[in-house]
Amino acid sequence: MADQLDKAAVAKAYARWAPIYDFVFGAVFERGRKAAIAAAERIGGRILEVGVGTGLSLPDYSSANRLVGVDLSAPMLRKAKARVAERQLGNVEGLAVMDARHLGFADAAFDVVVAQYVITAVPDPEATLDEFVRVTRPGGEIVLVNHLGAETGLRAIGEKCFAPLARRLGWHPEFGWQRLARWAARHDGVEHGGVEHGGVELIERRAMPPLGHFSLIRFARKA
Ligand SMILES: C[S@@+](CC[C@H](N)C(=O)[O-])C[C@H]1O[C@@H](n2cnc3c(N)ncnc32)[C@H](O)[C@@H]1O
């Protein structure tokens, strides 16, 4: 129930953001977006963009890659569809309204899963990352770009204070690296408590502008 409420709040927030999203976030997130695309294209092939939003990144991929985009917000996706039509992006296989936690794709359906500025907007980041692993082929990669909350210091205090307001904007600014590290440790391909999670390996964690508060994180799905 809380999950449904959270998703409804996120969908409502992004319905409000959709008309002005490109203007507000287009330039701010540009460097991270380009870095994520470069990382995804090192593997290439069939790429899933989760939380594709207004599709700002789609024209920047090489036309050699096949792209699928999903997002919870229909108004954001409408913008993405208009962009695909206007830019005649023939390599975009499809765009669909879908919850990142329940992806309607077969296991190992993609070479790369990219999620830019998304993982702190979903109600259950760990379960959502599990779903990313499921749809990534062994040897493929999961590429995240995201704000990661500071663990200590003034920025951590500021983020804690800002958290209630940010949640109303569909964002959890206090989400830190430790949660991702704990999630990855559980995905070592070994059985824990009777459940074996698919193995992942951290390949890269790099600070990104603005101000290094964002990070590019790459996980490989173990073969
Ligand atoms: C900050 S925007 C990022 C959009 C785009 N990736 C970009 O870089 O501009 C976050 C996006 O994640 C989407 N989102 C949030 N929760 C989601 C969920 N549970 N499933 C799918 N998309 C979700 C939002 O609708 C929004 O479009």
Structure tokens at 4: 């449904």
Ligand 1 geometric centre to CA of 10 (Å): 9
Whether 110 is in the pocket of ligand 1, judged by its Cβ within 6 Å, is no
Residue 89's pLDDT is 98
Whether 84 is in the pocket of ligand 1, judged by its Cβ within 6 Å, is no
In one letter, which amino acid is 163? A
Q: What is the pLDDT of residues 143-176, one digit of tens each?
A: 999 988 656 665 555 556 655 555 555 566 667 8
Residue 123's pLDDT is 84
Residue 126's pLDDT is 92
Residue 213's pLDDT is 77
The residues of the chain scoring below 70 in pLDDT are 1-5, 149-174, 189-198, 210-211
Pair 183, 124: CB distance under 8 Å: no
State how far the Cα of 31 lies from the Cα of 99, in Å rounded to an integer.
Answer: 26
Tell me which residue has tokens 């790459």.
218
Q: Exposure string (b/e) for 29-49, b if CB count within 10 Å is 16 or more?
A: beebbebbbebbbebeebbbb
Best substitution site from 22, 72, 77 to test ligand 1's pocket, by max atoms within 8 Å of Cβ? 72
Structure tokens at 179: 């949660």
Ligand 1 geometric centre to CA of 99 (Å): 10
Best substitution site from 50, 71, 77, 131 to test ligand 1's pocket, by max atoms within 8 Å of Cβ? 71
Model pTM?
A: 0.90
